[in-house]
Amino acid sequence: MAGKVLIAEGVATNRILLKARLADACYRPLMAGNGDSCLDMALRERPDLILLDLELPGRPAVDVLGLLRADPRCAAVPVIALAAAGDGAGRRAALASGADEVLTKPVDETLLMARLRNLLRTRSTLSELAERGATMREIGLAEPAAPFELPGRIAVVCDRPDAALRLRKQLATGLRDEILPLSRAEALTEAVDADVFVIEAGQETPGGGLRLMSELRSRPATRHAAVMLLQPAPAVAAQMALAFDVGANDVQTSGIDGPELALRVTRLLAQKRQADRLRASVSDGLRLAVIDPLTGLYNRRYAEPRLARIAERAMRSGESFAVLVMDLDLFKQVNDRWGHAAGDAVLVEVARRLSDNLRGSDLVARTGGEEFLVVLPATSLPEAEATAERLRAAVNRTPIEVPGNPPIAVTVSIGLALAEGRRLMRPNAVEDIVHQADHALLAAKASGRNCIRHSRTAA
């Protein structure tokens, strides 16, 4: 089954017709005949979507909506409300209470199923992002964003300037966000950074609104913006269904009244912000997963696949690259004598000195307590030796200032191995080059520390 859909409809024949249509599409229909049974079944069964008739007997449908949105178990379940023709007040009340969509009865089946698919896709995307963000928070890699929100940016895109100004005036009565009337060309400029686009679907030629939406979806600055298409009245249900299926967040007729338009845009803005927060949570968590929190350098989790990519490029180009494995000398004595806080301050400063003496294309990572890895792409042996000496001298040049303690002098031992691209075809070549650099580091330690040794058997 594709998912559970709760049908809350007071007329038995309507419930049966909807049940048959949903079953044909491989959904699992659940049925409720009044407000209380709808609420009870929703909380018990946790449906994937709810079809809610606003004329449902018993507890008012708007009250049911409010209770659903207040309960964490159903707060995120999409709700399509079904309203009688001409019931503008009921439509607005449903949207204000948390309905994701309000369709007019009798509902066109093609449009209903397209909107249902559209909302389920959106919910699936948000749920996946939320699960990733929750995982990051569980392992301490991300924190929820602060709830404070700045005013949004709403772009109104019309063929004619007077139509854009009319829509702007309609929206301004119900929104406190910035509203930008734009032409199609202006909407596609890189400078536009809108949260929601309200687009007249005509856009000079049939299908122009869909093409504009596709263009916006293809551009990094507007890829995640919410899009509402306004179809010329009278709208054709098949065209509206197509717009939902190709990714519009909302589709309405150009004759929609101002208060309902503002409510719909407000909901789109809220959904877009929620998705932005979830994406940011995942992005921050992924970034922190590969960053050493003390020094700000990359960690081993990032360094190993990055080294593999450097080796792959070297194999294709035939160039050589160098691997430096570094270890602070007698670092345990720093911690034992001055404390771990002083030791942390030393590591932070060493990381800074290493970073300041490398190219932007070089990789530097903290791979252990006082161990560092440096990878130098497209580098010959003389260049690698010169870089290693520069790094050794940078660490040793001046003692490190530590608050509350005298300056602490530290040195570093470095093991160097050079990999030639044409010899990287053999199995385990990348692991071998790091292993050879490790052996060179041991030789540097055995030679009295604060020196550089390089492997003569590198790949």
Q: Is the pTM of this model over 0.85?
A: no
Q: Are residues 51 and 80 in the same domain?
A: yes
**Is residue 232, in this structure, part of any structural domain at all?**
yes
**Which mean pLDDT values do the consecutive 10-residue runs of the chain (459 residues) have?**
86 94 94 95 94 94 95 93 94 95 94 94 78 49 54 90 88 89 86 89 69 88 91 84 91 90 93 85 71 92 90 86 96 92 95 93 93 94 95 94 91 94 72 93 95 76
Question: DSSP states of 309-361 as a string?
Answer: HHHHHHHHH--EEEEEEEEETTHHHHHHHH-HHHHHHHHHHHHHHHHHTS-TT
- CA-nearest of 60, 214, 64, 51 to 119 is 51
**Is residue 48, in this structure, part of any structural domain at all?**
yes
Question: Residue for token digits 């199995």?
Answer: 427
> In Å, how far are 204, 322, 324, 377 from 72, measured between CA atoms?
45, 54, 52, 51
**Is residue 351, in this structure, part of any structural domain at all?**
yes
Active site residue 370: yes
**Is residue 389, in this structure, part of any structural domain at all?**
yes
CA pseudo-torsion sign 381, 387, 389, 391? negative
**CB 428, CB 435: distance < 8 Å:** no
**CB 59, CB 39: distance < 8 Å:** yes
Q: Are residues 27 and 70 in the same domain?
A: yes
Question: DSSP states of 69-102 as a string?
Answer: HHSTTTTTS-EEEEE-TT-HHHHHHHHHHT-SEE
Q: Are residues 363 and 279 in the same domain?
A: no
Q: Are residues 268 and 413 in the same domain?
A: no
Catalytic member of 200, 370, 383, 389: 370
Query: Which residue type, as a one-letter code, is found at position 242?
Result: L
Tokens of 78: 């999409």
Q: Exposure pattern of 114-128 as b/e (b: 16+ CB <10 Å)?
A: bbbbbbbebbeebee
**Pairwise CA distance, residues 102 & 95, whole Å:** 7
Q: Are residues 314 and 229 in the same domain?
A: no
User: What local confidence, expressed as pLDDT, does residue 32 receive?
Assistant: 96
E strand or H helix that includes residue 403: none
First to last CA, the chain: 55
Q: Are residues 204 and 240 in the same domain?
A: yes
Q: Are residues 284 and 327 in the same domain?
A: no
- CA-nearest of 188, 207, 201, 177 to 272 is 177
Question: What number of other Cβ atoms are within 10 A of residue 87's Cβ?
Answer: 16
Q: Are residues 103 and 150 in the same domain?
A: no
**Is residue 120, in this structure, part of any structural domain at all?**
no
3-state secondary structure of 414: strand
Query: Which residue type, as a one-letter code, is found at position 88?
Result: G
Residue 438 sits in a domain whose CATH number is: 3.30.70.270
Residue 32 sits in a domain whose CATH number is: 3.40.50.2300
Backbone angles phi, psi at 203, to 5 degrees: 45, 50
User: What local confidence, expressed as pLDDT, does residue 313 receive?
Assistant: 87
Tokens of 280: 């940011």
**Pairwise CA distance, residues 440 & 445, whole Å:** 9
3-state secondary structure of 410: coil
**Is residue 325, in this structure, part of any structural domain at all?**
yes
Query: Which residue type, as a one-letter code, is found at position 193?
Result: D
Question: Residue for token digits 């899009």?
Answer: 227
Question: What number of other Cβ atoms are within 10 A of residue 174's Cβ?
Answer: 15
Question: DSSP states of 197-241 as a string?
Answer: EEEES-TTSTTHHHHHHHHHHTSTTTTT-EEEEEEPSSPPHHHHH
**Pairwise CA distance, residues 212 & 218, whole Å:** 10
E strand or H helix that includes residue 120: helix 109-138
Q: Are residues 283 and 144 in the same domain?
A: yes
* DSSP symbol at 374: E
**Pairwise CA distance, residues 188 & 186, whole Å:** 5
Q: Are residues 383 and 438 in the same domain?
A: yes
Count of structural domains within the chain: 3
**Is residue 181, in this structure, part of any structural domain at all?**
yes
- CA-nearest of 53, 7, 52 to 27 is 7
Query: Which residue type, as a one-letter code, is found at position 251?
Result: V
- Decide which of 288, 316, 332 is a domain's last residue: 288
3-state secondary structure of 384: helix
- Decide which of 253, 288, 323 is a domain's last residue: 288
- Decide which of 107, 126, 148 is a domain's last residue: 107
Q: Are residues 274 and 308 in the same domain?
A: no
Question: What number of other Cβ atoms are within 10 A of residue 88's Cβ?
Answer: 13
**Is residue 69, in this structure, part of any structural domain at all?**
yes
**Pairwise CA distance, residues 176 & 38, whole Å:** 35
- Structural domain including 58 reads 1-107
Q: Are residues 26 and 165 in the same domain?
A: no
**Pairwise CA distance, residues 427 & 438, whole Å:** 19
